[in-house]
Structure formats: C-alpha cells, structure tokens
Amino acid sequence: MLNPDSCMEPSPGRLPKLEATRPHMEPKASCPAAAPLVERKFHVLVGVTGSVAALKLPLLVSKLLDIPGLEVAVVTTERAKHFYSSQDIPVTLYSDADEWEMWKCRSDPVLHIDLRRWADLLLVAPLDANTLGKVASGICDNLLTCIIRAWDRSKPLIFCPAMNTAMWEHPITAQQVDQLKAFGYVEIPCVAKKLVCGDKGGTLNILGILHLFLRVQCTSRSAAHARRAVAGIFKAEYCKREEKKRAPGRHGGSCL
C-alpha cells in the first residue's frame, strides 16, 4: 500500500480532495467493534476527452449525482477543458497536472493507480478520435489514458465514441473500436442527429445510461452487488446489439 505521507508540502486544494476520494487510504479501526461499518457508495469515474460533446459534461455529472448511492469523480484531458468550465463541475476534477504535482518522491501516491483502485466503473464519455487511437494502440501519455492502460478488466469500462461523421467513417475507426471491444470494453452506440458542425451524424441520449444506473441502485443491496449488477446490465443491454450493421453517418458525432 502506498504511503499517504508526502516528502514535500502538498499543493493547496489538491491532495486534500484526493484523500477524500481514496477509500483504500482510509485508516482502519483498531477494533472491529470500535466503529460501525458504513456501506460505501458506488464509485463512477467519468473520463472526458476533446470532443465537442464535452459541452454536456456538466449535465452528465449533474444527472449522475441525482442518483442515490453514486460517488462521482472526473478525469479530463487538456483539450477537453476547452468545452466546459471547471466551475460547472461539482465534483473532484483531475487533470494531468495533478498526477505530476502529487508525486515528489518514492513514498508518494501515484494518482492514476489510486483512481484505478477507487473506481468501480469507468465511463469515457465522450471518447474522441485521438484518444480512441491512443487506447487501441496502448499509448498512455496522459492521466486518463494511464488509468485506462492500468484498468482492472474485471470492472466495467464503458466508452462512447464521439467524432465528426467523416472521421467515424475512416476505415481505421472501426478497427480501433473493435480492438477496444476485444479488450472487454463496452461501446455505447450513437443514434442519428444533426451535429454542431451542421453535418448529420450520431448522438447518444446519455440519460439512457443514467436509467441503467437507477435500475442498479433500486435492486442492489450493497456496493459489491451494485458493481456486479452494473456489469451485467451493460453487457445485457448493449453487447448483444454491437454486431448490428452500422449505417453510414449514423455513429459519428456526439455521444451526449
């Protein structure tokens, strides 16, 4: 286990937030009877990348927080920051700077490993063409892609591709999506809609995903049961539909 004590002074406003969201770092009671057991919440880590669909990140986070029993954190790429204001994100928001500012010596925590341990589910929404290519190739050059590369594949990883229709229809895209599926990740397909650029492409009503979370919360008796239920529901709802023929122009654009 990593030592939470840093050999240097922490940056203001960074490590305290991390400590609040790292259950594996919390001190244990000296005696089992010393404190009652508290059922922890289901941890959802949202990854956001540099697609225009990142405009909807505040809405996505807000809707997730409306669901009882969920704890949410967000990991952003640098390019995704262009599409939203951090002031509109009411949860802990991590970026590349946090990874490097936290680690000063060998005893310090490694953020992408801590977040990988903390999360019960990783939802990458939107997943842009650039990050899709990186993940399919195993490249991990930022905080989010490092988390994905280190991801525990016994936990669900859900990805929502979002790019212009012309980019989606490039032959490499289908190969890369298939590679992610081969890793065991689950794609949330898009539906037809007019895009911000004016082209007709694809979008996904993110509220459909939220309904699945609600179903899990209503039927789950514990966080452990919820983790299994989420994995089962996503696979049952979407995996059987992934082999459907993709119509040209249908899946490009925004996943949100």
Residues recognised as catalytic: 197
Pair of tokens at residue 133: 């290519």
Report in angstroms the alpha-carbon separations of 11 from 5, 81, 87. Answer: 13, 21, 19
DSSP at 27: P
- 40, 14, 12: which is closest to 26 by C-alpha? 40
Three-state secondary structure readout of 136-197: HHCCCCCHHHHHHHCCCCCCCEEEEECECHHHHCCHHHHHHHHHHHHCCCEECCCEEEECCC
Tell the residue number behind the tokens 């525990």, with chain if given: 152
**Rounded distance, CA 206 to CA 118, Å?**
23
